[in-house]
């Protein structure tokens, strides 16, 4: 589904709104709530994110309620090194994988991966999609651009910082 354009255009935009130094985003630490009025495309009825960023590691959890009432909870701890880390769905117990990469200041890429068996029976990694997360300059908003495995944008979610 092609909704908003290509990743290269979004990355150019992210580069323009980014600061000059590369570092993890400790300003992302805290609680964030989905703002459905600013979001576009398919998404849950409500979603709360929690980030704890210390040093080179991000601890992330998401708690969402789908429009049909279904629940979704997930959690991972990952370093900004592009390696795969387990991402556990706390409702189903299913484990997928996440790879984190710092792209620009205040901009990170999260690659979603599942492990599948190839034709020889060997387990291989298969990318299922990406999130490009952009922290606003004032630190009050995160824009999360979701893409499918082909790199086409499927939705854009906006989250507002919550008081601790």
Res. 140: pLDDT tops 90: yes
Tell me whether residue 23 is in a domain.
no
State the pLDDT at residue 7: 53
Q: How confident is the model at residue 9 (pLDDT cuts 50, 70, 90)?
A: low
Tell me whether residue 152 is in a domain.
yes
What mean pLDDT value characterizes the chain? Answer: 87
Res. 37: pLDDT tops 50: yes
Range of the domain at 116: 7-18+28-161
Tell me whether residue 112 is in a domain.
yes
CATH of the domain at 69: 2.40.128.20
Mean pLDDT calculated for residue range 96-105: 93
Res. 19: pLDDT tops 70: no
Q: How confident is the model at residue 137 (pLDDT cuts 50, 70, 90)?
A: very high
Tell me whether residue 88 is in a domain.
yes
* Residue pLDDT, tens place only, 111-132: 999 999 999 999 999 999 999 9
Percentage of the chain exceeding pLDDT 90: 78
Distance CA 4, CA 17 (A): 18
**Cα–Cα distances in angstroms (integers) from residue 67 to residues 43, 44, 71, in the given order:** 8, 6, 9
State the pLDDT at residue 26: 76
- Domain total in the chain: 1
Res. 4: pLDDT tops 70: no
State the pLDDT at residue 20: 33
Mean pLDDT calculated for residue range 28-48: 95
Tell me whether residue 101 is in a domain.
yes
Mean pLDDT calculated for residue range 7-19: 46
**Cα–Cα distances in angstroms (integers) from residue 137 to residues 61, 141, 162, 163, in the given order:** 23, 9, 16, 18
State the pLDDT at residue 15: 45
Tell me whether residue 2 is in a domain.
no
90-127 burial string, b = 16+ CB within 10 Å, else e?
Answer: eeeeeebbbbbebbbbbbbbbbbbeeeeeeeeeeeeee
């Amino acid at each position: 589904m092609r909704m908003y354009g290509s990743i290269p255009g979004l990355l150019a935009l992210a580069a323009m709104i980014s600061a000059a130094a590369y570092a993890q985003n400790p300003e992302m630490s805290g609680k964030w709530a989905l703002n459905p009025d600013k979001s576009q495309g398919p998404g849950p009825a409500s979603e709360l994110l929690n980030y704890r960023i210390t040093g080179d590691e991000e601890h992330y959890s998401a708690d969402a309620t789908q429009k049909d009432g279904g629940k979704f909870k997930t959690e991972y701890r990952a370093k900004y090194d592009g390696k795969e880390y387990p991402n556990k769905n706390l409702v189903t117990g299913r484990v997928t994988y996440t790879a984190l990469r710092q792209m620009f200041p205040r901009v990170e890429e999260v690659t979603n991966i599942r492990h599948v068996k190839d034709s020889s029976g060997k387990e291989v990694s298969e990318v299922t999609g990406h999130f490009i997360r952009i922290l606003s300059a004032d630190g009050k908003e995160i824009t999360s651009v979701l893409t499918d495995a082909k790199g086409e944008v499927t939705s854009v979610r906006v989250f507002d910082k919550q008081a601790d």
